[in-house]
Structure 1
Amino acid sequence: MNDEILRRIHHTNQSAHAQVLEYFEQLKVSDNGWELCAQVLLSGQYLEDEQIRFFCYQVIENFVAKKYSSHQDSATKQKIRNFLVNIMQMVAGGASAEKGYVKNKLAQLVSLVFVVDYPTVWPTFYTDMMQFAKLGGQEATDLYLRILKAIDVEVVDREVLHTVEEQTRNTNIKDYMREQCIVQLVDSWYDIMSTYEGTHPQLVCSCLEVVGLYVAWIDINLIANDRMVPILIRYINTPLLRESACEAVTEILHKGMEPEAKVKLIESFTSVLESAGVMYPSEDEEGDFVLKLSKLVNCMGENLVLAWDKSVKAARVP
Structure 2
Amino acid sequence: MPLEILFKNDFCEWVDVESPTEEDLNYLHNKYNINVLLLEDTIDANHLPKFEQDGNLNFFLMRENTQLERSNLNTISDISTKLGIFLLDNVIITIHRMKNRSVYELKKEILLPVNKDISRDRIALNLALKVMKSFDDESKNLIEIMDQIESEIFLKNTNHSNHIRRLYRLKRKSGLNTRILNISTAWVDKFKLLDLDEIAVTDLKDKSKDAIADFEHLNTQVASLISMFLAMSDQKANQVMKVLAIYSMYFFPITFIAGIYGMNFVFMPELNLKYGYYITLGLMAGITLITFFYVRKKGW
Q: TM-score by structure 2 length?
A: 0.28
Please tell me whether Structure 1 or Structure 2 has the larger radius of gyration of its CA atoms: 2
Structure with greater proportional helix content: 1
Q: TM-score by structure 1 length?
A: 0.27
